[in-house]
């Protein structure tokens, strides 16, 4: 049985699978369409699957996609561990600018689901860490937005130690700059 519970940011969920261990290893169902639709209230269609392998201290994100088209994401860490971060970047949301972090690893094998409009980032806690994520729409560079993960206004509590970011993420706009530029999505309540 998969346990799916809402996180504190509307439109994000933590998925904890039941693991079945025996002398051969383990088995788990990390995604069940019916159970997911029941818990979240709508289906999740997969249009693209991604794999990211990162060394300790690598921060990827904060990334989001224009709405429309939007992009829901379903993320898990299949090897190693990451601090996975959901950031509410939806203008008008009651939790705008707030973030929530969840450890994803190859022990608990949890996953996080994000609705379109939410920002996503993670930091590799191990050397290496492999993250797999399912996306509801294919990659479109013209629709992707990036917000600086080290933006002091967000105050994300990244792990201590050396950090490595791509040039694109390191020079990305702050939330205030993205807001002023009008590139953040509008909040649309669920339901």
Q: Give the distance from CA 171 to its chain's centroid.
A: 20
Determine which one of 20, 63, 120, 139 is catalytic. 63
Alpha helices, H only, the chain: 33-40, 167-170, 175-181
Sequence-distant (≥ 6) Cβ neighbours of residue 167 within 8 angstroms? none
Determine which one of 74, 113, 120, 133 is catalytic. 133
* Strand ranges inside 108-186, DSSP E: 111-114, 118-124, 129-135, 144-146
Q: What is the C-alpha separation between 162 and 180, in angstroms, rounded?
A: 31
Q: What is the C-alpha separation between 115 and 97, in angstroms, rounded?
A: 16
Is 20 among the catalytic positions? no
Is 21 among the catalytic positions? no
Q: If you count them, how many residues does the chain have? A: 191
Beta bridge partners of residue 86, listed in sequence order: 100, 120
Instruction: Say if strands 12-16 and 144-146 run parallel, antiparallel, or are unpaired.
Output: unpaired
> So which residues are the catalytic ones?
63, 133
């Amino acid at each position: 049985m998969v346990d799916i519970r809402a996180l504190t940011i509307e439109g994000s969920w933590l998925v904890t699978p039941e693991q079945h261990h025996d002398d051969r290893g383990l088995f788990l169902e990390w995604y069940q369409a019916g159970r997911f639709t029941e818990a979240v209230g709508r289906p999740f269609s997969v249009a693209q699957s991604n794999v990211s392998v990162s060394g300790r201290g690598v921060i990827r994100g904060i990334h989001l996609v224009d709405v429309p088209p939007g992009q829901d994401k379903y993320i898990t860490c299949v090897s190693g561990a990451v601090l996975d971060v959901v950031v509410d970047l939806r203008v008008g949301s009651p939790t705008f600018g707030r973030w929530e972090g969840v450890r994803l690893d190859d022990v608990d094998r949890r996953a996080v689901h994000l609705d379109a409009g939410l920002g996503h980032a993670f930091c590799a806690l191990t050397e290496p860490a492999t993250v797999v994520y399912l996306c509801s729409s294919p990659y479109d560079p013209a629709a992707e937005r990036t917000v600086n993960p080290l933006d002091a206004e967000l105050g994300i509590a990244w792990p201590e130690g050396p950090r490595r970011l791509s040039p694109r993420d390191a020079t990305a706009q702050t939330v205030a700059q993205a807001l002023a530029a009008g590139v953040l999505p509008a909040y649309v309540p669920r339901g």
